[in-house]
Amino acid sequence: MKYTIDDCTIIEIPKNHSDRGSLSVVESNNSIPFEIKRVYFTYDIPSGAERGGHAHKNLFQLIVAASGSFNVLVDDGVNSKELFLNNPSKGLIVTPGIWREINNFSAGGIVLVMASELYDDGDYYRNYSEFKGLK
């Protein structure tokens, strides 16, 4: 299946709030449309830095601003859009075949990612020109 940027959507992550704080839960194949096989997060990101800059052949991701804020550019080789993430009870689903760049980090920004696959270097498109050529 060929995905487009329209398949990259912001979802509400269920939030339980009490006077002791908030708790959000993400469950494989329930609140997101894939099984979580890997979780990672980036932090201490210097001002002006960019993350991402690649696409995946088969991997789905849920990207969450666990703290702070940042922009995510998604690009399907034809169209692109930029989304702003700043709320840990919202997450961006990124489908396979979508180029993503993450930038404009606030101080203390933490990017939390839940991925459908274990790390596989062969699943990456790391060169944008090559990625565009395949589309």
Q: Which residues make beta-bridge pairs with 67?
A: 110
Whether residue 28 contacts residue 34, with contact meaning beta carbons closer than 8 Å, is answered with: yes
Q: What span, in angstroms and rounded, lies between the C-alpha atoms of 108 and 88?
A: 13
Single out the catalytic residue among 7, 26, 54, 101.
54
Q: Which residues 6+ apart lie within 8 Å of 58 measured at CB?
A: 96, 116, 117, 123
Q: Is 54 a catalytic residue?
A: yes
Asked if 110 contacts 44 with a C-beta cutoff of 8 angstroms, the reply is no
Which residues are identified as catalytic?
A: 54
